[in-house]
């Protein structure tokens, strides 16, 4: 895919993201990677969604992290996106400050997998990262945000293809997927699940975990070679 075509695709996806209600003001961003070309394209920094055009989108080298032109500055979250692309097998990354997921992120709470609604999309809890240390914030903050996400999945042994979402402690959610549409869908589902989790926490009850075989059954109905949900 040529750069202009990729910019048009990223622009359209950011407009779609804005239409979900998951972002407000200039919060949030979406990027798409072309691994064959070694390029990521992302929303520019600080430009309101209603002012965006395809020409605002910024191409960044996946290798060096440098913008390929200097017309616009890429999103400040660019280093986070780059670290996710370098570590996870995904094609698009979404970052929002959606209300319920951000509430849990700032409370340092995961979105627990407590039933089949969750398991239809994520095979287990959506994890919360550890808080960044002072040195990680003062130097290379956005890159370290990406690294702590990767660390969270590796230390817990969670496959980022099975759980395509995370909450960054004291910050907000990131989601990803093979395509921009999938990454946006994961962001929408995450917000829905976060709202359920917030309501469960507000009930103040001790909620038992469902058996793992139920979670696996619902996840595998929709994902992997044995899936049978939907049309062939």
pLDDT value of residue 231? 87
- Section 104-116 average pLDDT: 98
pLDDT value of residue 232? 81
Q: Are 5 and 59 in contact (CB under 8 A)?
A: no
pLDDT value of residue 122? 98
Which of 63, 140, 216, 229 is flagged as catalytic? Answer: 229
Does residue 1 carry a pLDDT above 80? no
Catalytic (active site) residue 229: yes
* Residue 225 CB-density burial (10 A; 0-12 exposed, 13-18 middle, 19+ buried): exposed
pLDDT value of residue 69? 86
Catalytic (active site) residue 135: no
Query: pTM higher than 0.85, yes or no?
Result: yes
pLDDT value of residue 70? 83
Which of 72, 120, 162, 185 is flagged as catalytic? Answer: 120
Q: What is the CA radius of gyration of the chain?
A: 18
Does residue 148 carry a pLDDT above 80? yes
Give residue-wise pLDDT tens across range 210-221.
Answer: 999 999 999 999
d(CA 184, CA 30): 9
pLDDT value of residue 25? 85
Q: Which domains does the chain have, with CATH numbers?
A: 3-222 (3.40.225.10)
Q: Are 28 and 61 in contact (CB under 8 A)?
A: no
DSSP SS3 for 4: helix
Give residue-wise pLDDT tens across range 183-200.
Answer: 999 999 999 999 999 999
Give residue-wise pLDDT tens across range 14-65.
Answer: 999 999 999 988 899 999 999 999 999 999 999 999 999 999 999 999 999 9
pLDDT value of residue 26? 84
């Amino acid at each position: 895919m040529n750069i202009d075509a990729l910019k048009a695709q990223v622009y359209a996806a950011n407009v779609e993201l804005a239409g979900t209600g998951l972002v407000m003001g200039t919060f949030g961003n979406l990027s798409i990677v072309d691994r064959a070309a070694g390029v990521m394209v992302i929303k520019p920094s600080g430009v309101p969604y209603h002012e965006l055009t395809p020409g605002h989108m910024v191409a960044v080298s996946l290798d060096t992290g440098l913008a390929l032109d200097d017309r616009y500055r890429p999103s400040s979250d660019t280093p986070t996106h780059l670290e996710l692309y370098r570590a996870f097998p995904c094609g698009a990354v979404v970052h929002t400050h959606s209300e319920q997921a951000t509430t849990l992120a700032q409370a340092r709470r995961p979105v627990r997998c407590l039933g089949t609604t969750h398991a239809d999309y994520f095979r287990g809890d959506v994890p919360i990262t550890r808080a960044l240390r002072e040195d990680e914030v003062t130097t290379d903050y956005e890159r370290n945000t990406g690294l702590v996400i990767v660390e969270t999945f590796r230390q817990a042994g969670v496959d980022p293809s099975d759980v395509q979402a995370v909450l960054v402690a004291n910050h907000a959610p990131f989601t990803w997927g093979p395509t921009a549409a999938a990454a946006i869908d994961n962001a929408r589902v995450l917000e829905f699940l976060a709202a359920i989790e917030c309501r469960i926490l507000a009930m103040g009850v001790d909620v038992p975990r469902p058996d793992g075989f139920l979670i696996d059954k619902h996840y595998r109905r929709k994902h992997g070679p044995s899936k049978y949900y939907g049309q062939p």
